[in-house]
Amino acid sequence: MRRTTARFWSICLLALGLSMTGHAIAAHAYAQFGDIRYPAGFTHFSYVNPNAPKGGAIVLVPPTRQSNFDKYNPFTLKGSAPPSMLGMMFDTLLVGTMDEPTTAYGLLASDIQVASDRLSVTFQIHPQARFHNGDPVLAADVKHSFERLTSKQAAPQYRTYFGEVKGATVLSERTIRFDFVRPNRELPLIVGSLPVFSAKWGLQGEGPKAVHKPLDQMVTDIPIASGPYRIGPVQFGKDITYVRDPEYWAKDLNVRKGQFNFDRITYKIYKDSTAQLEAFKAGEFDYMQSFIAREWARAFTGRAFERGELIKAELQHGNAGDFQGFQFNLRRDKFKDVRVRQAIALAMDFEWLNRQLFYNAYSRVRGYFVASDFEAKGRPGPDELALLMPLRDKLPAAVFEQDVPQPPKTDLALESGHTLRDHLRQARDLLQDAGWTYRDGALRNASGQAFSIEFLDSSGSMGRVVTPFAKNLEKLGIQVKYKVIDFALLQKRMDVFDFDIISSRTVGSESPGTELLERFGSRSADVEGSGNVLGLKNPAVDALLDKVVSASSRPELVTSLRALDRVLRHGHYVVPHWYGAVHRVSWRAKAFARPADLPRFYQPEKLVTTVWWSPDARPSTPVSVSPKAP
């Protein structure tokens, strides 16, 4: 299963912010809405152990189905970078917390000043900030990073993400200002999430004759960054070790206190999920997260678990639910008619899947902002109508006249009043209305073309879901092909939109915003490598996205997101999947110690690598760092 634009969105940890009104204010933090929890001069975040010992080593596997890596540059479109490189190596101007969904505190920036008209933000760079080569982090490096990441040489997601930033201006050696296209409370957080690297990274030659290698040609050049870890031993394409920098400039800073405690963090890559799990049981690595209910129930068992050597836990959290589903490629003519997409969705029997395959572990995804305040319900109220009415000529009448669509439901007790057979009859009628009828052994259009769907998968784990779904689709005359391919090949096909339908997961957000432009905006639909997997081009959606990013209060944001959710759901652009309410994780008991209390908002891998520590931590034997590239 692919996480949408995982390579890029892993850096966007800052759906953050607090309103500042009146004159420009210099502060240690910024929040989009609400209050800042930690006052100036705070000592550490409440969910960390500030006295956690440093030392020890852990071995992990990527939470995605990554099958290799072939570059050290995480900012370009082609190829795969090592797992977690951004979080390990690259500091940002601001850093988010795990107990506030919309607040960011200064990291590289010691001071944040938002203009009273909200058309700019100015950052003062921390005087102690240093790159791994010992150079100070200067405003010129920040400007260089911004300009490189918004160039055509970088992955296109960055140009969308920073699309409302006019530019960066160096005001002094350690002062930089970002100017905005329009007032937007989220933009200081957007630029605050900018990963900063040295202007010397990729520099060739010396003195006035020195030139920068194009970013997309910097493949195995070791990044010059300022984060807590550096690259250590590497088996290129197979595994990588990050080595904690004992001279890390921010190790005693309040926003880093008690964090990044392991001396060495190694990621191993396995091409086969079954081999990965058996390797975990055999002691080859220390922690993994399970995304498959059957695997969690039946495979995370054995003597190591019975003896307490391996811990199996379902960790509670307060995150918004993840969005997951089969996403149609709207660039394909056969998926352009909403009736076709609705018919295909009717063929999925989630209740049967949950009962027979998932051990009733999941709830059905209903919309795009699962289990949050942003989920649309019933018919639009006055606040939503104020946004939707000006778009009436661009929207189907059902948006105004009907309840927001719910996924089809079957039930043994017939509480829903429908069976799978009822749904398939309805699907048949929808397909017929759209010009697809069954003849000559297949569902065909007026030109005689048979309807076929190819499902792509990189791990094989979706096969047990696709098989019963395919059988139902075949009853409608739809030909189904399920194909398992390598993750790298899947990524390449996704980048150029060479697919019919894909299973995709997007991590939930407590404050969705600018990232939605890249996910649903028309401007990103034809940009190779973009997160607009659907290929969605809808002027009403674009107008609502504009309302989302320009919201000036939390209530405005809630209303605009509910309206967006409503319009998207009436478009039937996906076959909704399911979500779980806990993180299912397992770890080697001797490998970790951790604080007693969990933060409210977190992803488990980040929690492990930043907050946990070795129970018998002793400094590891020094190892070489930043190896020469192969």
- Measured between alpha carbons, how far is 96 from 600 in angstroms, rounded to an integer? 13
The pLDDT of residue 629 is 43
Cβ neighbour number for residue 291 with a 10 Å cutoff: 19
Residue 155: pLDDT above 50? yes
- Residue 414's pLDDT band, with cuts at 50, 70 and 90, is low
Percent of the chain with pLDDT over 90: 73
Q: Which of 265-274, 329-338, 481-490, 505-514 has the lowest mean pLDDT?
A: 505-514
Percent of the chain with pLDDT over 70: 93
| C-alpha dihedral, 421 to 422 to 423 to 428, nearest 10° | 90
The residues pairing with 480 across neighbouring beta strands, listed in sequence order, are 453
- Measured between alpha carbons, how far is 317 from 425 in angstroms, rounded to an integer? 40
The pLDDT of residue 340 is 98
The pLDDT of residue 501 is 95
pLDDT in tens, 117-143: 999 999 999 999 999 999 999 999 999
- Residue 510's pLDDT band, with cuts at 50, 70 and 90, is confident
Cβ neighbour number for residue 378 with a 10 Å cutoff: 9
Pairing between β-strand 57-60 and β-strand 323-328 as defined by DSSP bridges: unpaired
- Average pLDDT estimate for 195-205: 94
Pairing between β-strand 120-125 and β-strand 109-114 as defined by DSSP bridges: antiparallel
Mean pLDDT of the chain: 90
The pLDDT of residue 23 is 39
Let me know: does 110 contact 190? Beta carbons within 8 Å.
no
- Average pLDDT estimate for 515-539: 93
- Measured between alpha carbons, how far is 206 from 31 in angstroms, rounded to an integer? 42
- Measured between alpha carbons, how far is 286 from 282 in angstroms, rounded to an integer? 10
H/E segment holding residue 7: helix 6-9
- Average pLDDT estimate for 92-96: 96
The pLDDT of residue 415 is 62
Give, as one character, the DSSP assignment of residue 590: G
- Average pLDDT estimate for 20-38: 70
Residue 4: pLDDT above 50? no
- Residue 606's pLDDT band, with cuts at 50, 70 and 90, is very high
- Which amino acid is present at 369? F
- Nearest partner of 112 among 104, 120, 103, 121, judged by Cα: 121
202-206, 269-273, 503-507, 557-561: range with highest mean pLDDT: 557-561
Residue 590: pLDDT above 80? yes
- Nearest partner of 494 among 536, 447, 528, judged by Cα: 528
- Measured between alpha carbons, how far is 214 from 217 in angstroms, rounded to an integer? 5
Which domains, ranges and CATH numbers included, belong to the chain?
A: 2-272 (3.40.190.10), 323-579 (3.10.105.10)
- Average pLDDT estimate for 502-528: 89
Q: What is the pTM of this model?
A: 0.84
- Measured between alpha carbons, how far is 7 from 530 in angstroms, rounded to an integer? 11
> Could you tell me if residue 497 is left (phi over 0), alpha (psi between -120 and 50 degrees) or otherwise beta?
left
- Nearest partner of 554 among 101, 3, 22, judged by Cα: 101
The pLDDT of residue 554 is 86
Residue the block writes with tokens 């000006």: 390
The residues pairing with 167 across neighbouring beta strands, listed in sequence order, are 179
Let me know: does 367 contact 569? Beta carbons within 8 Å.
yes
Identify each DSSP E strand in 76-190 by its residue range: 94-96, 103-106, 109-114, 120-125, 165-172, 175-180
The pLDDT of residue 27 is 86
- Average pLDDT estimate for 237-254: 95
Note the Cα 538 to chain centre separation in Å: 23
- Residue 26's pLDDT band, with cuts at 50, 70 and 90, is low
Residue 572: pLDDT above 90? yes
- Measured between alpha carbons, how far is 395 from 398 in angstroms, rounded to an integer? 8
Residue 3: pLDDT above 50? no
- Nearest partner of 564 among 545, 588, 549, 537, judged by Cα: 545
Give, as one character, the DSSP assignment of residue 574: E
Tokens of 601: 């908002």
pLDDT in tens, 268-324: 999 888 889 999 999 999 999 998 888 899 999 999 999 999 999 999 988 888 899
